[in-house]
Amino acid sequence: MRVCGYFGKRPGDRDFLFDGLPARVADRWAAMLSGWLQAAQARDPENWQRHYYGAPIWRFALAPGHLNDQIWVGVIAASADAFGRSFPLSVLISAEKAGLPDYLTGPVDQLMDRIERQLLSFLDGGLGRAEMLKDLERVSDELRRALDVPPKEHLVMLPSLRPEEFAIALPVAELQANPERPGAMVQWPAQTRRREEPDPCYWWHEGTETRPAELCISAGLPSGSPTSAFFLGDWTGAGWRARVHDSGME
């Protein structure tokens, strides 16, 4: 069953908001984001909130096998409840496809723009809960159709993970400038060499005043201290290291 909804906190409410999503999906999502927050707090106890509230709005596309047997796409925005307790607010939309393509298309990213605007309006109180769900249902149908249509052209081909990598991250500008051999790529080594696994998870954002647009590709839902980079930036400071002799797509 295809669903859409949101989960997290917003300033006008006293606790978590949870609408439209399966409980198991929301639980797994909450555990992942809680880990990201804990990693950010542990890495920079004095300044993590300043970086957190200035963090980019992350977009994501998760292949089947990570949250459940469906594709999940959506956005993540830093937020807090009425008492100032920090926790992101996320929109999640499911789609029934066998897997994700290894490219990013314009129509999909344009629909993500709309979802991001809806989320920001919801955070500001411009949309109520019922109105937010109704708007999400409309855009989610368009997004699923966009995922089903082969593109006439793609924005960029996405690099592949090596077997010894859990994740990679890089500026989008580097990938656009040299798709075959992008520079400034960092890697998060896998604890064990990967074998048969689901297709990757894709995470990207369009940049802020202090961070360029970035892309991250992971073999699973990221957890542990390296995830502090999602909110704090500075991938190498979070334990990622430069990828040596990158050959782009492998």
Range of the domain at 150: 4-242
Mean pLDDT of the chain: 90
pLDDT tens for 73-110 read 999 999 999 999 999 999 999 998 877 776 666 778 88
Assign residue 154 the CATH number of its domain.
Answer: 3.40.1730.10
Strand (E) positions, the chain? 4-8, 17-19, 58-62, 71-77, 89-95, 103-104, 156-157, 165-171, 186-189, 201-205, 214-218, 241-242
Q: Is residue 248 part of a domain?
A: no
Sign of CA dihedral 32, 38, 42, 48: positive
Radius of gyration of the chain (CA): 17
pLDDT tens for 10-20 read 999 999 999 99
Q: Is residue 79 part of a domain?
A: yes
Q: Is residue 189 part of a domain?
A: yes
Q: Is residue 231 part of a domain?
A: yes
Q: How many domains does the chain have?
A: 1
Q: What is the DSSP letter of 237?
A: G
Amino acid present at 75: V
Q: Is residue 11 part of a domain?
A: yes
Give the pLDDT confidence score for residue 248 in this predicted structure.
44
Q: Is residue 250 part of a domain?
A: no
Q: Is residue 227 part of a domain?
A: yes
Q: Is residue 247 part of a domain?
A: no
Phi-psi region of 15 (alpha: psi -120 to 50; beta: other; left: phi over 0): beta
Q: What is the DSSP letter of 138?
A: H
Residue 199 vs residue 250, higher pLDDT = 199
- Residues contacting 204, CB < 8 A, separation 6+: 58, 59, 60, 104, 172, 213, 214, 215, 216
Residues 146-174 have a mean pLDDT of: 81
Contact (CB, 8 A) for 154 and 244:
no
**H or E, element range at 177:** helix 172-177
